[in-house]
Structure 1
Amino acid sequence: MTRALIIGAPRSGSGKTSVTIGLLRAFARRGLRVRGVKSGPDYIDPGFHQAATGLSGLNLDSWAMEPDLVAHLLAEAGEDTDLLLIESAMGLFDGIAGGAGRTGSAADLSRLLGIPVLLVLDVSGQSQTAAAVAVGFKHYDPAVKMAGVVLNRAGSERHVRLSKTAIEDKGLAVVGAVMRDGTLSLPERHLGLVQASEHPAIQHHIDRLADVMETSLDLDAILALAVEIAPPSGSTSAHLPPPGQRIAIASDAAFTFLYPHLGRHWRAAGAELLPFSPLVNEGPSADADACWLPGGYPELHAGILSSASGFREGLARFAESRPVHGECGGYMVLGERLEDAEGATHAMTGLLSHSTSFAKRKMNLGYRQARLLSDGPLGAAGQTIRGHEFHYASVTDPGTDEAFAEIADGTGTPIGLSGGRRGFVTGTFFHAIARTTL
């Protein structure tokens, strides 16, 4: 039997990630097979989930993924798992006007899958007023069940008592309280948290979070709140198909953002994933039939990438006869030049003709619908792929290549042309999540 529970909050910064990571490790210590799931388009939190449990993470996105794909992915994730903890993005009900059940919010997942919510309330600066927030969540949408409450960043035992009594008087169970402690927070940078692989003492930090959750929260009560989910049945056609049967994938500190569900599906479809590291001057495997450059942080390693002649020459040879696709950071590396945050310009692979800059920062964030303009690694011409953009880099020279796709935002408002295409090489700032079949 596999159980699932959503961990939500009124807003970002409430402490959901720390609570989730600590609970994942605490339940794993009990011998449970635990997997973390992230609601929405987030590359970084699933890495912390995996570090806490040893099991790969998963993203579920009600806007980008059709409902049958959401249910299918969750059921697959539960095949070798006892407990799935689904961490909400932002506030529990936050999303876009994407239609009923397609807003991208974690609340959509609760309605669709029948999974209740453990509400994390940051009670700093308030006490009994926290009950008004909790009651609002309880009644805002009857289809989204609030199963219990965690008080976070409490200042004293008296503070806990006042908040807890007020909430429980309104019929909601408080399953524990985490006291205020600034050292429990995880370090951040421009795209959110520093990645788990870069945290110098990640396992020690996760163990400390688990210690806090074990002493502060009623783990038995939390486990009892989780509900059983159905086993996988049937299949879905909304998966993004593998771009080849032997896929060379750039994988190192500069290229880290590959959605777990993509790699899992590509393997299940019979594809072999062949990782290589541009940062150690490796090119794609000569016997691969497609190459994928994921997003990541190439701007932090631009000098090394620029001098990696083996990588650049190997990629150029590969691109003469086989598809190469780059997303976001990968797209930046496919261009002519990349300007880093200090204003230094570095030559990139030049397989596409655009140039990008991280010095001229402008945040680009949001869901995207991409209509492909030609056949390629993501699908056939005319097909629509759903995904997102999240980057601070800007295009300083659009180059002369043909466009990769026409894109619109999550509500369908046209944005314009995106990315580039030259020969077998394609790239875009757009991260693909799933295709549409409707």
Structure 2
Amino acid sequence: MSRILMVAAPRSGSGKTTLTLSLLAAFRRRGLRVRALKTGPDYIDPAFHQEATGMPCANLDSWAMSDAALAAGLTRAGDGADLVIIESSMGLFDGLALEDGQRGAASDIAARFRLPVLLVLDASGQGQSVGAVAQGMATWSTAVSIGGVVLNNIASDRHEKLCRAAMRQSVLGVFRRDRSIVLPERHLGLVQARERGDLEGFFASLADKAERELDLDGILSLARPIGESLPVQASHVAPLKPPGQRIALADDAAFSFLYAHLAAGWREAGAEILPFSPLQDEVPDERADCCWLPGGYPELHAGRLAAATHFREGMTRFAASNPVHGECGGFMVMGQGLVDATGTRHAMLGLLSHETSFARRKMVLGYREAMLLQDGVLGKAGARLRGHEFHYASVTEEGQDAPLAELRDGEGTSLQAAGAQRGRISGSFFHVLCEAG
């Protein structure tokens, strides 16, 4: 029977990802079939989870997804797994200023599905105060159950003694400070899993650390059967209708931000995904009837993409008779040009008429509801989609194309029209999570 628990923390940067990966690696070493899920709109951590477990990691989001869709995600993750570990995004209770249950907070999901929570506390720079933080987290909501605590960044035996003495919750391990365990970051989060060549050794070291420093049996006993956590009926409707029967998908270090739950939903609906690598100068499969350019880091590979003449010519031929859609990084590549961080302009595909720049960095981050303004690969005019934006690039030339969608933020405030559409060709900085209910 599949069991499930959530790893959460009071804030970002507490060590949730390191702890989650350590648990996945350690329990997998013990012979358990493990799987991970991630709350909120995140596409980088799930890639590490996938590498650690050998199975795709989907996302759960209480703002974007219905209870039935969330239940479907839990059910799908439990199929063929002994243990499912959900990593929380941000702090456990962090979300929009809306009613509980719809805020996009991990606590919404923990409460709705009665998930036990393993709390990781970063104890650096404090002693007994970690006890007050843990107690506050444990009593903040009667609907959320903190089953145990892992203390992170413990510096010494004395530090551990002080922190343990202050705890009213069960301490299921301490992670000693270890400068050798590093998850390097860049502007959108962690450096991608596919860019690290040392993952096997990295996961082995995390499993070793977990076996030395954590009460793995106690943590496993926290997990509860998934069936007991599903008070609502799961719905396996695809979160987003497939954009085509055969989908040519750009997939490499420049284009890697496709949500696993979207790909799974497309396949379940009968679609076939045909990956290709623009960085390897490949072109969309001629059998495909649409092309999807997901987000990623094209700004780091702009020169190489500009020099990929086979890719660029192939995309022009493909777009002459088939739909193409680009999300975020894909949207940048579909424009006339992209200016990288050094200020150098690189010619892009020119399928749309805008230009973007990474030299003028400004972070844009938040939930978005998009209403499509005309028929296209994402749906009919008037259809509503839920997702998010997260980027540092800016549009420096708007171009002459029609906007793709009217946007609202997560709390319903109207934003300006965004994206671009020219016939069957479309793109925007907006990442789709699912169709709005």
TM-score of the aligned structures, taking structure 2 as reference length: 0.97
Identity, in percent, stands at 57
Question: CA deviation digits over 1:243-281, x for unaligned, max 9?
Answer: 001000001111000000010110111000000111111
**3-state SS of paired residue (1:314):** helix
Pairing partner for 1:202 from 199, 202, 206: 199
Q: Deviations over 1:21-41 (max 9, x none)?
A: 011000000110101111111
Deviations 1:317-346 (A, max 9, x none): 111121100000000000000001111101
Number of corresponding residues: 434
Contact 2:68 2:233 in 1 (8 A): no
Alignment partner of 1:430 is 2:430: yes
Pair 1:213-2:210 in alignment: yes
Contact kept, 8 Å, 1:24 with 1:53, in 2: the verdict is: yes
Determine the structure 2 residue equivalent to 1:174: 171
Q: Is the CA contact (8 Å cut-off) linking 1:98 and 1:410 kept in structure 2?
A: no
Query: What secondary structure, in the 3-state scheme, does the structure 2 residue paired with 1:165 have?
Result: helix
Q: Distance in 1 between matches of 2:279 and 2:137?
A: 47
Match of 2:142 in 1: 142
Equivalent residues in 2 for 1:321-336 (5 A)?
321-336=321-336
Give 1:100 shift: 2.9
C-alpha separation between the residues in 1 aligned to 2:219 and 2:32? 14
User: Gapped runs of 5+ residues in structure 2?
Assistant: none
After superposition, where does 1:281-320 map in structure 2 within 5 Å?
281-320=281-320
Query: Which string of whole-angstrom CA distances, capped at 9 and with x for unpartnered residues, describes residues 31-61 of structure 1?
Result: 1010111111111100111111111111111
Structure-1 separation of matches of 2:98 and 2:202:
38
**2:375 paired residue number:** 375
Equivalence for 1:405: 405
Deviation at 1:234, TM superposition (A): 5.2
Kindly provide the amino acid, as one letter, of the partner of residue 195 in structure 2: E
Gapped regions of structure 1 (runs ≥ 5): none
Q: Does 1:226 align with 2:223?
A: yes
Q: Aligned-pair RMSD on alpha carbons?
A: 1.2
Post-superposition CA distance 1:62-104 (Å, at most 9, x none): 1111121111111111111111111111111001124330111
Residue 246 in structure 1 maps to residue 246 in structure 2: yes
8 A Cα contact 1:93 1:105, kept in partner: yes
Letter in 1 for 2:180: T
One-letter code of the match for 1:75?
Answer: T
- Which residue type is aligned with residue 436 of structure 1? A
Question: How many Å apart are 1:173 and its aligned residue?
Answer: 0.5
- Distance in 2, matches of 1:95 and 1:278, equals 36
Deviations 1:98-148 (A, max 9, x none): 433011111011011110110001111222111111110111001000000
Pairing of 1:22-421 with structure 2 (within 5 A): 22-167=22-167, 170=168, 172-230=169-227, 235-237=235-237, 239-421=239-421
Give TM-score scaled by structure 1 length. 0.97
User: Whole-Å Cα distance in 1 between the matches of residues 326 and 203 of structure 2?
Assistant: 33
- How far the C-alpha of 1:375 sits from its partner, in A, is 1.6
